[in-house]
Structure 1
């Protein structure tokens, strides 16, 4: 896992390589297009069909590639579950084991957040891996679109302007610094909550208000927008009960996150786990008919949508056509691709429907 990508690039600077780009979001599309434009032979599977990939060749299946790739590029995050490649725009699971099967020990597999479990899958075949997200320059540059994504989420999910809103940023690492700067630049009144005295001092010198995170429970009720960047249980029951009911909580932390989502939901708080920004998490909008007390059911022209509802659980359709139009809509369920869309067996990415009442339900990975 310590192999640097620079070594491969430098050793093959004048050689045209065979790349396989697997899964991910629009960033992978851009990469495939750029690599192909540079003259490399590029194959792609599991990418968005709506985004151009230039001269790269799309594969319908991973095992249909006819050449052994020199480099396999996995997304950021490489895998959500340690078993399958993160591929929100693909209707089938792409197992990491299958990726390993088409590689040899001469193939380099790169991706973001390559865990020990992921590395072990490739190590069985002596396939080297490299985590490109350990590079400091990439981490720092990635903070900028992450902050922009957080601002977009805030703008789309609050009933007021971010300008003059009271924004609390929890933590003061790389992401928090970018978020604080951007929110202040659009006129938010930014406060930073952190543990280290040095971070608090730096925040104050940059023009933010600041307080020790130990005072969170007594101060959190003052804020309209709360942005957590700490991947630990920061917003627990003791803290959440003091949050203003109209506040928006945006969790930017990586797994396991910093919010007790179950307790927050019970309080009726609006919480968005903006995992893997940028970009804004891809959302599939599923429109269903039914009442909350009786579970969910739906009817469509093709009769493709049905499920036995479980108490307190959202609908789990088995089949859903992409252009399914429902006649009467009462509930809108938003299913997050990044949180196991495939677990709900929903292949669709765009459903066009009328609706009269909406509820946002965010599924969280177990």
Structure 2
């Protein structure tokens, strides 16, 4: 139980609703800000104003998937107000307060460093990334079906990146009967991809293997699907880029060549917000319990 743990959820989307419910059921003291347009919330969740006083006794500040933008503003879909993290607000936090976000842009990292506050980027954790790869894969398959006039079954698909999302993506395609080409960087990845029944190749050789691909899924957050690669693709090929914005595709060149290319980061929160919220809620509950235990020792 999280009795005595004081947390504030600032902004976010439907994923935060699952976190609120989980933490309230675990008996944490849960304050919320940026949810004034959401009528049905857990009865134990306490709406508050964003002030120095409201920050002064927090054990944890829970921010959305992208903690805040480059100017410190926190995104929320349940309020018409804007909320900004400032030096003044973070200076009011106890030095033991932990700030949690899915990922942190430089503004938030610098702000936390300036005030010596611990920052946890949840999407950097292997467990969350692996769990999130499931709704990501399902969402990418949905997009592929929506934007093609052929079946995934018996198609030739390609996945770039043998990471947590790439492996789940390749397995999903394989399960639907696609021949899956897997782009890897290292020899041990090549061997594992071969063992899993994929057609492995090194990403440095992408230009030589792209010609017969119907569906191309990228998980690498650097420019890899260049004009040179796009020129090799078939006209009906579809690119679905799952990497962090701005992705790894030359989208302008793809459009000029009539190749459909879609940027699709953050699919878990779009296609399965309840599941994505439960994933975050379970992890945060464990992290907050560990934080509480350390404090009480």
TM-score bracket for the superposition, by shorter chain length: 0.7 to 0.9
What's the counterpart of residue 242 of structure 1?
232
Provide the secondary structure at the position in 1 that maps to 2:267.
Answer: coil
Question: 2:249 aligns to what?
Answer: 259
Query: How much does 1:240 deviate?
Result: 1.2
Distance in 2 (CA, whole Å) between partners of 1:88 and 1:166 is: 38
Gaps of 5+ in 2: 273-297
CA RMSD of aligned residues (A): 2.9
Alignment partner for residue 65 of structure 2, among 61, 76, 88? 76
Higher relative contact order, chain-length normalized (CA < 8 Å, sep 6+): 2
Alignment of 1:96-111 (within 5 A): 96-97=85-86, 100=90, 103-111=93-101
**TM-aligned CA distance change 1:122 to 1:65, over 3 Å:** same
Q: Within the alignment, does 1:93 sit opposite 2:93 as a pair?
A: no
CA–CA distance in structure 2, aligned partners of residues 47 and 178 of structure 1? 34
Question: Using a 3 Å threshold, how does the CA distance of structure 1 residues 60 and 39 change in structure 2: closer, same or farther?
Answer: closer
1:292-307 equivalent positions in 2, closer than 5 A:
none
Deviation at 1:111, TM superposition (A): 1.2
Q: In structure 2, do the counterparts of structure 1 residues 220 and 91 end up closer, same or farther at CA, with 3 Å as the change threshold?
A: farther
Q: Deviations over 1:215-251 (max 9, x none)?
A: 3223323122110011111001111122222221111
Q: 1:39 to 1:136 in 2, by over 3 A?
A: same
Matches within 5 A, 1:33-48: 33-46=21-34
Mapping 1:163-312, distance limit 5 Å: 163-280=153-270
Q: Which residue in 2 is equivalent to 1:120?
A: 110
Cα deviation, residue 99, structure 1: 5.4
TM-score by length of 1: 0.65
- Which deviates further from its counterpart, 94-103 or 188-197? 94-103
Q: 2:20 aligns with which of 32, 39, 44?
A: 32
Change in 2 beyond 3 A, CA 1:22/1:49: same
Tell me the distance in 2 between the aligned counterparts of 1:89 and 1:171. 35
Q: What is the TM-score normalised by the length of structure 2? A: 0.79
- Are 1:274 and 1:280, in contact at CA under 8 Å, matched by a contact in 2? no
Paired residues, number: 270
Question: How big is the shift at 1:200?
Answer: 1.9
Per-residue CA distance 1:289-315 (angstroms, 9 max, x = gap): xxxxxxxxxxxxxxxxxxxxxxxxxxx
Q: State the shift of 1:202 in Å.
A: 1.4
User: For 1:140, what is the secondary structure of its paired residue?
Assistant: helix
Which residue matches 1:10?
none
1:311 alignment partner in structure 2: none
Per-residue Cα deviation, 1:83-132 (whole angstroms, up to 9, x for no partner): 32243554443222275366333432111223553122134344332223
SS of the equivalent of 1:227 reads: strand
Name the structure 2 match of 1:308: none
Relative to structure 1, the CA distance from residue 67 to residue 119 in structure 2 (aligned partners, 3 Å threshold; closer, same or farther) is closer
Is contact 2:70–2:107 with CA below 8 Å preserved after alignment? no
Partner of 2:152: 162
Structure 1 window deviating more from structure 2 (83-92 vs 143-152): it is 83-92
Task: State the alpha-carbon separation in 2 of the partners of residues 53 and 136 from structure 1.
Answer: 30
Quick one: structure 1 residues 185 and 113, their matched pair in 2 at CA, closer, same or farther if it must change by over 3 Å?
same
Which consecutive residues of structure 1, in runs of 5 or more, have no partner in the other structure? 1-12, 283-366
Deviation of 1:172 after TM superposition, in Å, equals: 1.1
Deviation, 1:28, is: 1.3
- Describe the SS at the equivalent of 2:268: coil
**Alpha-carbon distance between aligned partners in 1 of 2:204 and 2:237, rounded to the nearest angstrom:** 20
Q: CA deviation at 1:171?
A: 1.5
Residue 50 of structure 2 corresponds to 62
